[in-house]
Amino acid sequence: MAEEKSAENAAQASKRKGRLAPFIVVGALMLGEGIGVFLLAKALSPPPISALAMEGGALGGEQIDATSGEMVEVDIADCRPSNKMSGKFVTFQIRVSGLVDPKQREAAQEMVRAKQARIDDAVNIVVRAAQPSELNEPGLETLRRRLRHELGRVFGDDELVRQVLIPQLLQSGPGL
């Protein structure tokens, strides 16, 4: 009887192996194909190209003064103005920073803290008055120029902020 049970168990085991055999074969073929594709792609692809910096920035935009290596960044504003010049109500999330002389860094930061409401108001006025084409310029040159002028008016010194930086300008509204 024990011999019959072991013979029966062996028959069931061979049936299971018979059922699993196609899955094992397909799995092995897929694994082999994946390894082959990986090795072929690795052999045929060229090595990565090292990154090269472009003169004048990635967009070739506004050049910074020769003394810009000495300039320091100062956060100026972070606000959410809106614009309806295109006929649609568009809200912006804008962050404005500026490059200042290192000797004037503390004075600039103190002025920003003391005049934050006026600065935010000036940024809001510039964005609200901007045409859609100005807000969609690749380098935002018009917006930067107008912001620099308004910041010079608020600070009472046109040379305090040497260059306006807009590290973030997000648009949101219907259809965007």
Mean model confidence pLDDT for the chain:
81
Whether 41 and 71 map to the same domain: the answer is no
Quick check: 148 and 161 in contact, CB under 8 A? yes
Residues making up the chain, counted from first to last? 176
**Of 105, 70, 77, which Cα lies nearest the Cα of 93?**
77
CB atoms within 10 A of CB 154: 19
Q: Is residue 61 part of a domain?
A: no
**Of 149, 67, 146, which Cα lies nearest the Cα of 103?**
67
Q: Is residue 163 part of a domain?
A: yes
Number of domains comprising the chain: 2
Classify 149 as helix, strand or coil.
helix
Range of the domain at 74: 66-172
Quick check: 105 and 74 in contact, CB under 8 A? yes
- Asked if the model's pLDDT at residue 11 lies above 80, the reply is no
Q: Is residue 58 part of a domain?
A: no
Whole-angstrom CA distances from 94 to 1, 26, 41, 51, 128 are 85, 55, 43, 29, 12
CB atoms within 10 A of CB 175: 6
> CB-based burial of residue 60 (10 Å sphere; 0-12 exposed, 13-18 middle, 19+ buried)?
exposed
Whether 48 and 108 map to the same domain: the answer is no
Whether 32 and 78 map to the same domain: the answer is no
Whether 24 and 99 map to the same domain: the answer is no
* pTM score, whole prediction: 0.57
pLDDT digits (tens, 9 = 90+) for 28-47: 999 999 999 999 888 888 77
Q: Is residue 8 part of a domain?
A: yes
- Asked if the model's pLDDT at residue 22 lies above 70, the reply is yes
Whether 113 and 162 map to the same domain: the answer is yes
CATH number at residue 108: 3.30.479
Whether 73 and 147 map to the same domain: the answer is yes
Q: Is residue 17 part of a domain?
A: yes
